[in-house]
Amino acid sequence: MARFMYGRNGADQLCWAILIAELALSLLSSLIRNQYFSAFAHYASLFLCVYLFFRLFSRNLEKRRAENAKFMQWWGPKQSALRGAKARRADKAHKYVKCSCGTYCRVPRGVGRVELTCPKCGKKQIVKT
Ligand SMILES: [Zn+2]
């Protein structure tokens, strides 16, 4: 298998995204009982499946890498925003205040009212922790 995959694209981020899209489609089609939608979902997931295998075993690495880079250009910022939101939710020791410039400012919880100065734009605001 390793020898067979040598010189081929293999699974990159775009492949994983296609796989997830396929799973989401099949889940949707089992939830939505509509014959037109299930027909659409069937052909769409078939197409995605073919495209997925085409990308996995493609030998045209340059093109596949360019496609993946394009996808990551679109998805990368969203992914890091999602990761940031998850980390902020997990952090119970701090409060995160979003500034009007879009920056998240971190303040420790339980210290009462503090004047917060945004490190990016310097705007001040009073925050209750
Ligand atoms: Zn700011």
Torsion sign over Cα 32, 37, 38, 43: negative
Arithmetic mean of pLDDT, 74-92: 95
| Element housing 62 (H / E) | helix 61-90
- Please report which confidence band the pLDDT of residue 93 belongs to, taking 50, 70 and 90 as the band edges: very high
Pull the structure tokens for residue 57. Answer: 């075993």
Distance 122 CA to ligand 1 centre (A): 6
Distance 71 CA to ligand 1 centre (A): 30
Kindly report the pTM of this predicted structure.
0.71
Check pLDDT > 90 for residue 4.
no
9-52 pLDDT, tens per residue?
A: 999 999 999 999 999 999 998 898 888 998 999 999 999 999 99
**The pLDDT of residue 6:** 86
